[in-house]
């Protein structure tokens, strides 16, 4: 048995684990990284990267069908689903070297491609290696949650992992789950030529602001996507190419393929956490605000920590851990400045408090302003007028922003910056945006907050009249 001692052991080479490994090793720490499957984790191989690549293929097909609005003769695209999947793989291949074993070994990281499990509170076994580390970071991520629906185990079904092996376009796709993954893949396959039905047990995009979610859902339905809410699957039956899903209400939906996208579960089962004195919760590993587990020498970051499940959160967690583990700084993880986005068309994005959350916290001291895309000249020029920005403001500072519309995921960066730096709305109105850009939406939303104070105030009008009398 090979015994290894190091400063830092990282279990999992997804976004968070790789970020910690790169940062710590380049700062001079002795780092060991374990990965039992693919470098880059879920994001590179099954999640963010492949899904956005397929969404782009679908957008291109949709643009060909809808070109008439720009004076171009529309055509029905000839979709080669296998070629679209080749495009997806080529994108993964282009990014993969950044996450490769070779690159991280170049940083000085010792990469061991084995599954790790705790054998004591300070030791982890991985294959023939027993590793003792001063600090350990668990970054094992999450996997698709497969619910115990009667009959599901007897029919073929897809998850966000197995979907990428599919080479033939589903003729009729049933998606169980109306969250971000389900809705993104539903619209993508609809635009590529599938007939798609989404079954959601509660409300589609239910974790987002209902007003903003409605903008997205209305557009999806207008494209022909069938979205059935309050429809809990109670039984699944059939065989390959002929699957039936029955809901609790007795409705039966038929399709050739089934995609299960009802959420994710933390990857903790194989870690033997109890041997290290590490407690778990219903959603993952129990951590404090420093991301430390109940074993003070072990951290947990990203999806496995049981909080927000986004790649950029794992990256943020990595920075917190590097400060703590490498420098002993009292770094703490926060969530009030973390944005997220759903990459449907139009997109849906959020940072900080939603309107409902802000009203609950701030009551009558809250201001809410809205600015619609159809008042933006660039949006008019490009026919992307469906959408709005909504900003929640308390005592002159934004405490949350919701965006539904074209490139919402890009525009939310602005408000994430404002919240992270505690900016006032006046600082935002001081910005000058080039014309015509979508970025003007943010400035105009901020201007909407001040408009009543400037244009509807009797006091302002009296002051202006008085000044005008005395100006030469």
| Choices 3.50.50.60, 3.40.50.300, 3.30.230.70, 3.30.1340.30: CATH for 2-39+100-143+265-327 | 3.50.50.60
Asked if residues 164 and 46 have their Cβ atoms less than 8 Å apart, the reply is: yes
The DSSP code for 29 is: -
Can you give the pLDDT at residue 424?
Answer: 96
Can you give the pLDDT at residue 469?
Answer: 77
Instruction: Provide the sign of the torsion angle of the four alpha carbons 131, 136, 141, 147, taken in this order.
Output: positive
Q: For every residue of 255-317, which 3-state class applies, written as one string?
A: ECEEEECCCEEECCCCCCHHHHCCCECCCCECCCCCCECCCCCEEECHHHHCCCCCHHHHHHH
The Cα 230–Cα 235 span in angstroms is 15
Rg (CA), the chain: 25
Residues of the chain with CATH 3.30.390.30: 339-454
The encoded tokens of residue 60 equal 């291109």
The Cα 316–Cα 309 span in angstroms is 12
* Domain spanning 339-454, CATH class: alpha beta
pLDDT in tens, 198-257: 999 999 999 999 999 999 999 999 999 999 999 999 999 999 999 999 999 999 999 999
The Cα 346–Cα 348 span in angstroms is 7
Report the candidate in 269, 267, 241, 268 with the shortest Cα–Cα distance to residue 255: 241
Report the candidate in 347, 351, 344 with the shortest Cα–Cα distance to residue 407: 347
Asked if residues 41 and 169 have their Cβ atoms less than 8 Å apart, the reply is: no
The Cα 387–Cα 380 span in angstroms is 12
User: pTM here?
Assistant: 0.94
Asked if residues 406 and 372 have their Cβ atoms less than 8 Å apart, the reply is: no
Residues 292, 293, 296, CA angle at the centre, nearest 5°? 70
Fold topology of 152-262: FAD/NAD(P)-binding domain (3.50.50)
Can you give the pLDDT at residue 463?
Answer: 67
Binding residues: 52, 116, 140-142, 177-184, 200, 263, 303
Can you give the pLDDT at residue 455?
Answer: 58
The Cα 343–Cα 431 span in angstroms is 27
- DSSP-derived secondary structure for 138-170: E---EEE-----TTGGGS--B-TTGGGG--S--
Residues of the chain with pLDDT under 70: 452-457, 460-461, 463-464
Binding residues for FAD: 52, 116, 140-142, 303
Instruction: Provide the sign of the torsion angle of the four alpha carbons 375, 379, 384, 390, taken in this order.
Output: negative
Size (the chain), residues: 472
Binding residues for NAD(+): 177-184, 200, 263
Residues of the chain with CATH 3.50.50.60: 2-39+100-143+265-327, 152-262
Give me the residue label for tokens 């780092």. 31
């Amino acid at each position: 048995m090979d015994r290894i001692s190091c400063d830092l052991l990282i279990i999992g080479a997804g976004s968070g684990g790789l970020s910690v490994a790169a940062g710590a090793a380049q700062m001079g720490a002795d780092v060991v990284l374990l990965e039992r499957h693919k470098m880059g984790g879920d994001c590179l191989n099954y999640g963010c990267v492949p899904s956005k690549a397929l969404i782009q293929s679908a957008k291109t097909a949709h643009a060909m069908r809808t070109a008439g609005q720009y004076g171009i003769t529309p055509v029905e695209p000839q979709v080669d689903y296998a070629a679209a999947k080749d495009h997806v793989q080529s994108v993964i291949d282009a990014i993969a070297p950044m996450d490769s074993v070779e690159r991280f070994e170049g940083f000085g990281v010792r990469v061991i491609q084995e599954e790790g499990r705790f054998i004591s509170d300070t030791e982890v076994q991985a294959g023939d290696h027993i590793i003792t580390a001063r600090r350990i970071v668990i970054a094992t991520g999450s996997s698709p949650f497969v619910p115990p629906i009667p009959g599901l185990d007897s029919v073929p079904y897809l998850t966000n992992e197995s979907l990428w092996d599919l080479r033939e376009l589903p003729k009729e796709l049933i998606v169980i789950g109306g969250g971000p993954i389900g809705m993104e893949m539903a619209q993508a396959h609809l635009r590529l030529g599938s007939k798609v039905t989404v079954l959601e047990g509660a409300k589609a995009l239910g974790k987002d602001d209902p007003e903003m979610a409605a903008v997205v859902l209305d557009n999806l339905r207008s494209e022909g996507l069938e979205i059935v809410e309050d429809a809990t699957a109670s039984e699944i039956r059939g065989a390959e190419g002929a699957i039936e899903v029955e809901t609790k209400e007795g409705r039966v939906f038929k399709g050739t393929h089934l995609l299960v996208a009802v959420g994710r579960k933390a990857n903790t089962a194989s870690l033997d956490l109890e041997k290290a004195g590490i407690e778990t919760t219903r959603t993952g590993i129990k951590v404090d605000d420093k991301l430390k587990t109940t074993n003070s020498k072990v951290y947990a970051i990203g999806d496995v920590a049981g909080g927000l499940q986004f790649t950029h959160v794992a990256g943020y967690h990595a920075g917190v851990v590097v400060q703590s583990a490498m420098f002993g700084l009292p770094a703490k993880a926060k969530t009030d400045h973390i944005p997220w986005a759903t990459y449907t068309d139009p997109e849906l994005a959020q940072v900080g408090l939603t309107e409902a959350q802000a009203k609950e916290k701030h009551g009558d001291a809250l201001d809410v302003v809205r600015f619609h895309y159809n008042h933006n000249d660039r949006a008019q020029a490009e026919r992307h007028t469906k959408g709005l920005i909504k900003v929640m403001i308390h005592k002159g500072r934004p405490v949350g922003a919701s965006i539904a519309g074209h490139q919402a995921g890009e525009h939310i960066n602005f408000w994430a910056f404002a919240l992270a730096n505690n900016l006032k709305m006046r600082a935002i109105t001081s910005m000058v945006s080039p014309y015509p850009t979508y970025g003007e939406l943010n400035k105009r939303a901020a201007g909407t907050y001040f408009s009543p104070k400037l244009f509807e105030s009797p006091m302002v009008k009296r002051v202006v009249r008085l000044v005008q009398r005395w100006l030469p």
